Structure 1
Amino acid sequence: MAQKAHIVGKVEYRSGDGPNVEIRPGPVDLNTGINDVTLSWTDEETHGSAAMPLADFKRYVSEGLITLDA
């Protein structure tokens, strides 16, 4: 079961070798693996997802840019 969270600040991920891409503020679903976290979201009719290293995810949470739902 995915955990629920909210993006409340500037959160970015890297798509392959390309530039960083910002995830829009709002609700996301989280699926945590051993080394990374997959964030999934919906923008109207568009679905997005991004894998992020666990260390980066924890930094965003500690900085208050991602808030975990209870």
Structure 2
Amino acid sequence: MQHAIIRGEVCFRAGDGVTMPIPPGPVDIEVADDSVTIGWTAGDDALSTAITRDEYDRYVKEGHIKLS
């Protein structure tokens, strides 16, 4: 597991619904071959989502996800 900081707009699709932003701040990241799981806290809630590896690579390249 890696630690990172969300520093820009990073979004995920909630089920079949609307695209939602991951709030700026610290996150945990777990990288697999074809997807990346991102975990964060909002108040007392622990939340997580998976995005494609291509999306993750783009967010890192654009500086929206800063690895620490």
TM-score by length of 2: 0.95
- Runs of 4+ with deviation above 2 angstroms: none
What SS does the aligned partner of 2:30 have? strand
Query: Aligned residue for 1:68?
Result: 67
Give yes or no for the alignment of 1:19 onto 2:18: yes
The structural deviation recorded for 1:44 is: 2.3
1:40 aligns with 39
SS at match of 1:34: coil
**Paired position in structure 2 for 1:56:** 55
Letter in 2 for 1:17: D
> Is 1:7 matched with 2:36?
no
RMSD of aligned residue pairs (Cα, Å): 0.7
What is the SS of the residue equivalent to 2:58? helix
Worse-superposed segment, 56-65 or 8-17: 8-17
- Residues in 1 aligned to 2:26 and 2:46: alpha-carbon distance in whole angstroms: 12
Unaligned runs of 5+ in 1: none
For 1:66, give the aligned amino acid.
Answer: I
Structure 1: distance between partners of 2:25 and 2:47? 12
The number of residue pairs the alignment matches comes to: 68
